[in-house]
Amino acid sequence: MRRLATLALAFTMAAAACGGTTPTGGTAPSGAPADMSALAPAKDVAPAATLTWWHAMSGVNGDALNKIVAGFNSSQTKIKVEAVFQGTYDDLLAKLNTAIASNAAPALVQVYDIGQRYMYDSGQVVPMQAFIDRDKFNTTDFEPAVINYYKYQDKLQSMPFNASTPLLYYNKDAFKEVGLDPAKPPVTFTEIADAAKKLTKKDASGATVRFGFGPSIYGWLFEQLMATSGALYADNGNGRDNRATKVVYNSAAGKAILDWWKAGVDGGYFYNPGIDNDGAANAFNAQKTAMYIESTARLRGHITTIAGKFELGTGLYPRPDSKPKEGGNIIGGASLYIMKSRPPAEQQAAWEFVKYAMTPAVQAQWQSDTGYYPIVKAAYDQGPSKDWSTKYPQFLAAITEIRDSPQNRFTNGAVLGVMPQARQRTQKMIESVLLGQATTQAALDAAVEDMNTQIDKYNKANP
């Protein structure tokens, strides 16, 4: 009882001390962007000697991350960064939340894309824009698609770190087998359905040996399909002009997506792996499906596992037949946040590290080691990046995709405080449609209604 009151008190004090950056809702975005330098520590504050960084990268990506840290630590003697792995993105966020409550948050933390609004509403973040404004840091060379995702009301809240987009992965050998052109993967819904029908193979007993297309039920994929359809997911400019008050994906675009998906599963040429993303990837590797959609981050893993069993192709992410010009893909992945609860010296140190991580050489190496996008365009001119593109030409589809994506609210992606919940709810929605429990429009409406209640709750609880 007393402790919780103390927590609440600690919060109000922290909020007050930090000059009240908690945003008031419902105001229209201002005209000229105000300078945010005041939110960053003064320029002459000496950076702290040690810095803790919480992240969610393990395995190959974890190694690559540690390489960056080692490089930074050895390149100068003022700051030593300690990178700590904290589990999956979900675990990390849960842990961060708990840590914030007891004032144990680190200075630098990697949080996934959909954690944006939550981080912003927590009032615990020093916006990256503050440092950028203060030092007049040049961001013109930064990949626009990536930067725009992490802006709110045109201010950069966090620094993108690992960026990915979804692609169509396809089996070139299977294409050749059924007479499809392996150099021209299908792009529109109808093209994919047609190709999938051709690629589906049954055996003597009528059991399907290979499905044409096998997308997993993953909320992110649905969000991407809305984006390529040039449609909004949430109101108020996808929650970027102002806090979102409702979700709006029960539109014609949403219905078209679900109708296409359902027709495929019902018709027997789409495979339904359920919510098991790993299962969907595995099915593709094992040639149970000839096409599927997933993140570019999985590219390297696929190449290693497929190991010459068949030729791997990548293509653009599916979009409606009309190929809307305003449609394009959203950046996924995670970004780095500098936490306000730490002393200015540590915030300063965090910024120093962030700058280092964004240098072209580091970015090129990061791309080469992991398959994530470089955030700065100059990285593409570096050796490791060039080698990577030569070795994995399949990656080029990804680069084309984000370069060609128009920059607008549809492709910026939705920002919601309850995004993890929203993602779960769309998964439930898709499940109910594919199981035949509801018609597509009814499922969309039900999901939207549920989420609007949740958004209301969130907005009331986090003014």
Partner 1 sequence: MKLRNIANYALLVVGSIVVAFPLLLALSYSLMSESEIATFPPPILPARPTLDNYAQVFATIPIVRYLLNSFVVSSAVVVGQLLTASLAAYAFSFLVFRGRQLLFFLFLSTLMIPWEATIIPNYITIRSIGWLDTYQGLAVPFMATAFGTFLLRQAFLQIPRELWDAARIDGATTFRFLVSTVIPLSRPALGTVAIYGFLSTYNQYFWPLLITNQTLMRTTQVGIAQLRFEETLRWGLVMAGVIMVAVPTLALLVLGQRQLIRGLTAGAVKG
Partner 2 sequence: MRWTSRDLRSLGIGLAYLAPSLVLFAAFVFIPLAETINLSLFNTRATGAITTFAGLDHYLELLTSPAFRTGLLATAIFAIYTVPIGIALGLVLAVLLNQRLRAINVFRTMMSSTIAISAAVGALIWLLLFNPSLGLLNFVLSRVGVHGPEWLIQPTTAIIAVSITTIWLTLGTNIIVLLSGLQGVPEEIYEAARLDGARGLRMFTRITVPMVSPSLFFLFVVDTVAVLQAFTQIHVMTRGGPVDATRVLVYSIYQDAFQNFQFGFASAQAVILLLLVMGLTLIQFRFVERLVHYQ
- Residues near partner 1 (CB under 8 A) are 3, 52, 54, 56-62, 84-89, 91, 95, 98, 101-102, 104, 164, 278, 281-282, 285-288, 295, 297-298, 300-301, 304-307, 309
Give the list of residues 6+ apart from residue 251 with CB closer than 8 angstroms, or none: 231, 232
- Sole binder of partner 2 in the list 52, 110, 121, 349 (CB under 8 A): 121
- Sole binder of partner 2 in the list 199, 283, 338, 375 (CB under 8 A): 283
Between the CA of residue 405 and those of 74, 146, 270, 411, 462, what are the distances in Å?
Answer: 38, 11, 27, 7, 33
Residue 183 binds to partner 2 (criterion: CB under 8 A):
no
Q: How far is the CB of 184 from partner 1 (least distance, A)?
A: 26
Distance CA 75, CA 267 (A): 58
What amino acid is encoded at 350 in this protein? A
Residue 442 binds to partner 2 (criterion: CB under 8 A):
no
Q: How far is the CB of 162 from partner 1 (least distance, A)?
A: 9
* Span near partner 2 by CB under 8 A; candidates 26-34, 145-153, 265-273, 399-407: 265-273
Q: How far is the CB of 278 from partner 1 (least distance, A)?
A: 4
Q: How far is the CB of 297 from partner 1 (least distance, A)?
A: 4
Distance CA 149, CA 154 (A): 10
Q: Interior CA angle at 84 toward 163 and 418, to 5°? A: 55
The residue whose two tokens read 């359902």 is 262
| Residue 291, both tokens | 């096409």
Distance CA 313, CA 173 (A): 9
Map the footprint of partner 2 across residues 419-438, applying CB under 8 A.
420-421, 424, 427-428, 431-432, 435, 437
Q: How far is the CB of 219 from partner 2 (least distance, A)?
A: 11
Q: Indicate the residue among 112 and 222 with the shorter CB distance to partner 1.
A: 112
Residue 122 binds to partner 2 (criterion: CB under 8 A):
yes
Distance CA 47, CA 36 (A): 20
Helices (runs of H) and strands (runs of E) counted in the chain: 20, 13
- What's the Rg (C-alpha) of the chain? 23
Do the Cβ atoms of 244 and 455 come closer than 8 Å? Answer: yes
Q: How far is the CB of 256 from partner 1 (least distance, A)?
A: 29
Choose the one of partner 1, partner 2, none that binds residue 270, judging by a C-beta under 5 to 8 angstroms depending on kind: none
Distance CA 309, CA 358 (A): 37
Distance CA 124, CA 243 (A): 17
Contact residues for partner 2, defined by CB under 8 A: 1, 3-5, 7-8, 11, 90, 94, 97-98, 100-101, 118, 121-122, 124, 207, 271-276, 279, 282-283, 286, 288, 417-418, 420-421, 424, 427-428, 431-432, 435, 437, 454, 457-458, 461-462
